[in-house]
Amino acid sequence: MAEPSAPPILEVDGLHSGYGDVPVLKGLDFAVDSEVFAILGANGAGKTTLLATLARLLPVTDGSIRLGGKDVTAHPASETARLGIGYVPQEAAIFPDLTVFENLSIGGMIGERPLEQGLEEVFETFPDLRDKVGLRAGDLSGGESRMVACGRALMQDPSVLLLDEPTAGLSPLYVELFFQKIAEIHSGRGVTIVLTEQNATLALGVADRVMVLSLGLGSEVMTAADVTTDRLKEAYKL
Amino acid sequence: MGDQRRSSIRVEQVQKSYAGRMVVDVDELVLGDVPIEGLLGPNGAGKTTLMRMVMNSVSPDAGRITLNSSDGSTTTLSSLPTHKMAHHGVVKSTQVITDFDQLTILDSMLLAVATTGHEFPVRPGAERSLMSANEDEIRSYLERFGFADATAIAMSAGEKKLLDILRCLLLKPSILLLDEPTAGLPDEVTAKVLEVIRELAADGTSVVIVEHDLDVIWELCDEVTFMAEGRVLMKDDPASIRANATVIEKYLGAGHG
Amino acid sequence: MSLDWLDAFLVSGTFGVVEIVGLGLLLHLQVGLTRIANFGVVGFWGLGLYTFGVLYVQVDWPFGEPWQFLFSALAASLAAALAGLVVAWLIADLDSDGALVGTLGFSAIVLILATTQDQLTGGALGLGGLGFPYDLGTTKANELLWLALMTALVGLILGYVWWVHRTPYGRLLIAIGSNEPLARSMGKHTTGAKLTLFAITCGLMGLLGAMHGVMVRFLDIGSLDVGITLAALAGLILGGTARVWGAVIGVLLTVGLFDIVIQFYVPLPQEWFTQAIPVLREAVFGALLVVVLLFRPQGLLGQMRRSKLIRAMHDG
Amino acid sequence: MDRPARLASTDEPAVDRDVAAQHVEGPTTSGHHNVVAESSGRSPRRPGRTTSILVAAAVGLVVLASLSDFVAKSLVIGATENAALVLAALGFALLYRLTGLLNVAYAETITLGGYFAVWLSSSLGWGFYAVVLPAGILAGLLSVGTYLAIFRVAKRRRVGDLEMIAMSFGLSIFLRHGLQFIFGYQVQFFDIAPPDTISVLGVGVPSFRLLALASVALLSILIYQFIQRTRYGLQIRALASNEGLAQASGVRPLTVTLLIWFVAGLAGGLAGAFYGVGSSVSPLLGSRQLLLVLLVVLVGGIWDLLGVVWVGVATGIALTAMTLQFGDGLYSSLVLIFAFLAVLKVRGRRLTAGTKV
């Protein structure tokens, strides 16, 4: 945990956002420190909207987003990426027409770190990618393309990694592998991780704290250890 | 539940896959045999794809979707062009909030009630007869939904959504498919919409509703079909669905039963 | 009757303005209401012009005027209507880019056919022998009457457009223009409506072309260049694509200003008229399109005014 | 060609993510098989395969050419006379792919490329090959200028698709007639020595046409390589493929967009210079070619950038073959327009669905 005086790594205040004039997020407040922070919620709760807004791809209609104390509410996505936000959307997370190497290179274009070093680190985390660099990313399997998407974000050397449903649609073995990798990325590199997940059990296995979203409003943030089935059922309206 | 015969949609052995992934795999499902039926399921359950296949905007890889009308006739839906769906009484609200940006609220409503004959390029007096034939109904809906000025163009997301539902009602559906009818609406408007849906169902229309606000599902539906991973897992009354261990597991993940 | 006071060029200039107003009005139905990008107006107009001219001159008609004119003009309109139907079918499912290429391609086809089929059309040399279906004694009188007839025809087109705005058919066209999938989901046969619209409006464009042929009495492939399309489009967009009077006001301010006011009332060196003025005219129209769309895309008259229309219809 | 798929589609409200995010696994027990299937099931397409097929086809054509005079003539004349078409289409396609704008004013970029070359050549007294590149660069800068002055402003003001096309149409005509003021009404010719004729496959070709063909081929390859191999080319493709994801990866859209307009203008300008040296430079130089460029891009773009190149080459050869056959170039254009329109009707980009019903 950071020192008491240091600002949280990511801080969200009264966040409102949506598509056009359709409001989706209706006032969210939370702060994330160096941890794995999971956002839970059923279909349509606004999880994807929240991450896209944090990545600055959707306009903020009200409220603010601060990254390490710096207000990034008005920054475009290309600038927040340079300030250390890595974003892996759930859909369209790779450039399908580009090769795996090119996908990773796109992420490696910002920052001072040499490309080779970044690639080496990505291959350390995802060894499967090493012999697939020449392939067209669109031809990869679901699990592999998810690895490419993650790898591309890691190439940016981010301080915060936003993962939107990182394991949706993957087979159970991949799911396990992915959560293991997520834990590794957090503990090994000190990257703060914010992920959304529909499946509460999976998320609780890796997260330090969780928040349940329902119809654009957030529940109180719960420490993973305190979460009970009843509290979850209530937040999910089940 | 009404005793009169209702129109229903029968889905048999319907399969659809995208890029090798099976998205919908339904053996048999009858939609609309109760007044209000809810379609529920977590992400990726295939609800939207199923609805689109019913409307024939997505074609299934295999299987049959048929409409059993209340008058006893049967129609294969997958051979109908989109614009003929409404002629057979199958109407669906739009999932994305959208509207005609040049048409006023009244225009939109008149468009819904106009029949093909009215829209022939040369027919004098069509507008007048169209208006006088439908004036009462249009006025009552306008009042009920709180549209103060029918000659304005719908502006806010809420207005557009309301108007969309209004258009669906004016098309006099025998089966109405609603995709998130209350998303983005203020509470008091939601209440009005639900009230109208109930009335419509009581009058003999079958309503099938996909909704993310589970409170609405529990409160409104006579029966709920629960889908996950493209399959229909169960069809039961809301209370049983709500208490079912599989449903909880699918929503929260294994271990939270 | 002596018409010596009247400048012959003023009559033909006014005829041109009235003609472009007619084309602009028809384009308004296509672009303004239904939002189908027709960049090949000259193709439909030109097909009408050439069909009329070729039939009128090359066919040995067994009957005299005005039947010779009426039959040829009817055939020209039908040919243009049929072409409109085919082009509309071609682009019905395509987006604006497809519509651009389809209509542009069609106008190129008309130009190529007019050039290559020279035993019929006279090709690059042109074809004479067209004339008025009546004779009042002097050319000037004949032209003046033809101008009056053209004005009456364009008046009828204006009336038709005005009427379309006030019918369920017009509402359907507007609905297609602003959200075709939604209209389709409401049980509207949108493709059918688009085909009908194109057949009617393109047929009328062909009729205007036939009228033009009588006035100029000569087929010239130079008239098949982009000028007609540009003039109709620039006028319509300046006036306002969504309004009935948009084409009228816009064309008067563009073509009217250039072809009548400047040509007649501004003292310019004579040698400018052959080269500089036509070039300047096109350049200004082009620039006008850019400036108007950038700063006032709805045109001088502004947005479509359904609310007032509706109120007038139903409260009164 | 698809418009860049917008990430987290800004213009669509929050929708159920059912379609793409499908959970497809069967019962848990089959999980292991799925992993195996995922990693080895699909064999990815080999990029080299298409190229080798095309090379084989080219070799076959050359063999055929040595046997048939007609084929030889079609190939040689088609390739040399319509080489610039490929260059023009490549630039246009690049712009279309990234910005989604069907820029009618591209015709005038081509024309201006021709005029810049004539102007530089006559005012500086340089030879044609010395002025080609500067002329292309000037055309590229002009292209960037029109983006900054007009299309960027229009995009920010949310001008609609149809209006965008009408604007580029207006700009095209403004430039075309503006050119007539600046450069006069006369057709201009390059001052080049009467060419020697070289025999290729038994067909006599003026030497400068062969040089032009070589230069166009080289430039097309260079531009293609720039897009495929360089860092900026990568950013261009990333932005074209998925604008949102590219931005979230740190790609700065303005820089890259300017680059695209420049490269597209460069290609157009070069094409114009080569068109010009092949015949003459006139205000209608570009607009005469525009329809063909549009059709090649729209039809070739159904596949990808390489598709544009191949459709361009094939169009050039088909045009010549038919001209030789019919004895009139206009008929071949007619046949081509019909053929392309038919392809568009069948495979063209559909109307964007404003509503998912």
- Chain-chain contact of B55 with C313 (C-beta, under 8 angstroms): no
pLDDT score of C307: 73
Residue among C168, C182, C196 whose CB faces B94 most closely: C182
pLDDT over 70 percentage in chain C? 97
| Per-residue pLDDT reduced to its tens digit, A42-80 | 777 888 899 999 999 998 999 999 998 889 999 999 999
| Per-residue pLDDT reduced to its tens digit, B141-152 | 888 888 888 888
Average pLDDT over residues C294-298: 90
| Per-residue pLDDT reduced to its tens digit, D204-261 | 777 777 777 887 788 888 888 888 888 888 998 888 888 889 999 999 989 889 998 9
| Residues in chain D within 8 Å Cβ distance of B157 | 13
User: Is residue A216 over pLDDT 90?
Assistant: no
Residue of D nearest to C104 (CA): D291
| Per-residue pLDDT reduced to its tens digit, D260-294 | 899 999 999 999 988 888 778 888 888 888 989 99
User: Is residue A111 over pLDDT 50?
Assistant: yes
CA angle A219, A223, A226 (to 5 degrees): 95
Least confident of A122-136, B58-72, B107-121, D26-40: D26-40
pLDDT score of D34: 35
Give me the residue spans of the domains in chain C.
8-315
Least confident of B46-50, B115-119, B235-239, C131-135: B115-119
**Who wins on pLDDT, D54 or D166?**
D166
pLDDT over 90 percentage in chain B? 26
pLDDT score of C265: 78
* Residue A5 binned pLDDT confidence (cut-offs 50, 70, 90): low
pLDDT score of D182: 73
Mean pLDDT of chain C: 90
Which of D38, D241, D249 to mutate: most A Cβ within 10 Å?
A: D249
Which of A43, A210, A219 to mutate: most B Cβ within 10 Å?
A: A43
Instruction: Tell me if there are at least 3 CB pairs under 8 Å linking chains A and D.
Output: yes
Query: Is the pTM higher than 0.95?
Result: no
Establish if A25 belongs to a structural domain: no
The two beta strands, A36-40 and A192-197, are parallel
Cβ contacts from B onto C, under 8 A: 105
| Per-residue pLDDT reduced to its tens digit, D13-53 | 333 333 333 333 333 333 333 333 333 333 334 445 566 77
**Which chains have at least 3 CB atom pairs separated by less than 8 Å from chain B?**
A, C, D
Average pLDDT over residues B93-108: 86
pLDDT over 70 percentage in chain D? 78
- Chain-chain contact of C172 with B92 (C-beta, under 8 angstroms): no
Mean pLDDT of chain B: 86
- Nearest CA-CA distance, residue D286 and chain A, Å: 31
Residue of C nearest to D180 (CA): C279
Establish if A179 belongs to a structural domain: yes
The two beta strands, A209-214 and B36-40, are unpaired
Domain range C8-315, CATH architecture = Orthogonal Bundle (1.10)
- Chain-chain contact of D167 with C294 (C-beta, under 8 angstroms): yes
| Per-residue pLDDT reduced to its tens digit, C78-132 | 999 999 999 999 998 888 888 998 999 999 999 999 998 888 888 888 888 888 9
Task: Classify each residue of C270-303 as buried b or exposed e, where b means 16 or more C-beta atoms within 10 Å of its C-beta.
Answer: eeeeeeebbbbbbbbbbbbbbebbbeebbbbbee
Residue of D288, D287, D340, D333 lying closest to D311 (CA atoms): D340
Q: Which of residues 316-355 of D touch C (CB under 8 A)?
A: 328, 330-331, 333-334, 337-338, 340-341, 344-345, 348-355
Establish if A10 belongs to a structural domain: no
| Per-residue pLDDT reduced to its tens digit, D46-85 | 445 566 776 777 777 777 766 677 777 777 777 777 788 8
Instruction: Tell me if there are at least 3 CB pairs under 8 Å linking chains A and C.
Output: no
pLDDT score of C280: 86
| Per-residue pLDDT reduced to its tens digit, D291-346 | 899 988 888 876 677 788 888 888 888 888 888 877 777 888 888 888 888 888 87
| Residues in chain D within 8 Å Cβ distance of A78 | 247-248, 250-253
What three-state secondary structure class fits B92?
Answer: strand
Q: Is D194 exposed, middle or buried (0-12, 13-18, 19+ CB in 10 A)?
A: exposed
* Residue C60 binned pLDDT confidence (cut-offs 50, 70, 90): confident
Cα gap B143→B149, rounded to integer Å? 10
| Per-residue pLDDT reduced to its tens digit, B42-68 | 877 888 889 989 988 888 999 999 999
What three-state secondary structure class fits C136?
Answer: coil
Residue among A23, A43, A232 whose CB faces B43 most closely: A43
User: Is residue C8 over pLDDT 80?
Assistant: no
- Chain-chain contact of B252 with A44 (C-beta, under 8 angstroms): no
Average pLDDT over residues C40-58: 94
Which of D12, D17, D351, D357 to mutate: most B Cβ within 10 Å?
A: D357
Cα gap D79→D172, rounded to integer Å? 28
The CATH number of residue A104's host domain is 3.40.50.300
| Per-residue pLDDT reduced to its tens digit, B173-211 | 999 999 888 877 777 888 888 988 999 999 889 999 998
**Who wins on pLDDT, B120 or D26?**
B120
Q: Is D59 exposed, middle or buried (0-12, 13-18, 19+ CB in 10 A)?
A: exposed
- Which tokens sit at A172? 């159970």
Cβ contacts from A onto D, under 8 A: 153
What CATH number does the domain located at B8-99+174-252 have? 3.40.50.300
- Nearest CA-CA distance, residue B220 and chain D, Å: 20
Of the ranges B181-185, C147-151, C311-315, the best mean pLDDT one: C147-151
- Chain-chain contact of B183 with A21 (C-beta, under 8 angstroms): no
Q: How many domains does chain A have?
A: 1
- Chain-chain contact of A44 with B183 (C-beta, under 8 angstroms): yes
pLDDT score of D8: 36
Of the ranges B74-83, C186-195, D340-349, the best mean pLDDT one: C186-195
- Nearest CA-CA distance, residue D84 and chain C, Å: 21
pLDDT score of D42: 36
Residue numbers of the domain that contains A148: 35-57+76-235
* Residue C39 binned pLDDT confidence (cut-offs 50, 70, 90): very high
Tell whether A43 lies on the interface with B, counting CB pairs under 8 A. yes
| Per-residue pLDDT reduced to its tens digit, A177-206 | 888 899 999 998 889 999 998 888 888 888
User: Is residue A1 over pLDDT 50?
Assistant: no
Please, which residues have CB within 8 angstroms of residue D75's CB and are 6 or more apart in sequence? D61, D62, D65, D201, D317
Cα gap A148→A101, rounded to integer Å? 9
| Per-residue pLDDT reduced to its tens digit, D87-144 | 899 899 888 887 788 899 999 999 999 989 988 888 888 877 888 899 999 999 999 9
Mean pLDDT of chain D: 76
